[in-house]
Amino acid sequence: MTWIVEKKRSWAEWVALRTLLVGPIPTHLAVIMDGNRRYARQKHQDTLTGHTQGFHKLAEMLGWCRDLGINQVTAYAFSIENFKRSKQEVDGLMELAAEKFEVLLEEQEKLDKHGVCIRVVGNLSLLPQRTRQMAARAVIATQQNNNCYLNLALAYTSRQEMTQAMNELVDGVQRGELLASDISEELMEECLYTRGSKDPDLLLRTSGEVRLSDFLLWQSGFSCLYFTQALWPELTIWHLFGAVFYYQRHHHMLVAARQLCLDQRECVVEEQDVECCRIKYGDKLTQEHITEYARGRENRIAAFLASLTQRRLSYLQQLACGDE
Ligand code: FPP
Ligand code: MG
């Protein structure tokens, strides 16, 4: 089963699509693909068949997103909590993921044609060796594509993501690359696995559960949350249309709330610079001191982030070669 599903839309689907395209469209959609096992039970199938149908649905949904112009999707494929499930299910899911990454590598030409970039977010060290090797290869093989992005959250929870980000910052301070006062919301964000991704505009969860289950807690503070009763493998393009319509109805308020947060964030950094300069220069503080200090802080942060990027890339390359 392919990652790129090309399907003709029915007349009714095209009319709905054209109508929605008149309004604002989320550029980043996050999905919690829930309900695979209940679906399998209803159909008298085994659990792994349910998850395989779940993968097919993800591939199909990416086609709907392409038609709508949603160019970034983040999908919760496996939570760190999911390791507590039976060994048979965990092994089956890990093998399914490895197999699908292999298919992806065989289909690379198709992915390049559509400009699809795959990123994996999560603690890759928790995955079995074959799965993390295939995941790393898929990420490296598609990293030059920039038309649309699929972020797969694998061995992911937000708490673990935030903890590793804090550890990166602490290490940066201990190595002398950063000052403790350089730490800000913006810098913390740059240390998350989702670095470089815009926050999701719309977060969709299937199966009637109405919680976030430790998914993108930092990133979804200003996202529109949409819950549907449909089990993940049952999802249709009409459910996605419903979610986008819901987003359009709330779009105005979401944009205003996010902007307010960004404005406040800038003020906090400026105030922090002034505070640091005041400690250093006391009464002799001038505007030039503040400008110079801000430039120094920006340079420190740029160097720290460049080294973080390099470390992450080397780690991925090591995983891809199986050279760990
Ligand atoms: C949640 O349903 C789903 C999962 C834990 C797994 C989702 C994984 C996929 C759709 C495949 C991903 C593929 C790749 C290539 C990474 P559930 O198991 O919690 O079902 P339930 O809520 O009915 O118990
Ligand atoms: Mg579930």
Distance CA 78, CA 173 (A): 32
Tokens of 249: 């109805």
Distance CA 244, CA 23 (A): 9
Distance CA 295, CA 292 (A): 5
Long-range contact list for 40-44, CB < 8 A, 24+ apart?
A: 42/231
Ligand 1 pocket, 38 CB below 6 A? yes
**Hey, is 317 helix, strand or coil?**
helix
What residue's CA is closest to ligand 1, atom 8?
Answer: 77
**Hey, is 274 helix, strand or coil?**
helix
pLDDT in tens, 278-313: 998 998 999 999 999 999 999 999 999 999 999 999
Q: Give phi and psi for 152, each to the nearest 5.
A: -100, 120
Q: What distance in angstroms lies between residue 36's CA and the mean position of ligand 2's atoms? A: 7
Ligand 1 pocket, 201 CB below 6 A? no
Q: Percent of the chain having pLDDT more than 70?
A: 100
Q: What distance in angstroms lies between residue 94's CA and the mean position of ligand 2's atoms? A: 17
Question: Under the phi-then-psi rule, with left for phi > 0, alpha for psi from -120 to 50, and beta for the rest, what region is 303?
Answer: alpha
Ligand 1 pocket, 141 CB below 6 A? no
User: What number of other Cβ atoms are within 10 A of residue 281's Cβ?
Assistant: 13
Ligand 1 pocket, 150 CB below 6 A? no
pLDDT in tens, 105-153: 999 999 999 999 999 999 999 999 999 999 999 999 999 999 999 999 9
pLDDT in tens, 25-73: 999 999 999 999 999 999 999 999 999 999 999 999 999 999 999 999 9
Distance CA 226, CA 213 (A): 14
Tokens of 299: 């340079």
Distance CA 244, CA 257 (A): 19
H-helix or E-strand spanning residue 77: strand 72-79
pTM across the whole model: 0.95
Ligand 1 pocket, 33 CB below 6 A? yes
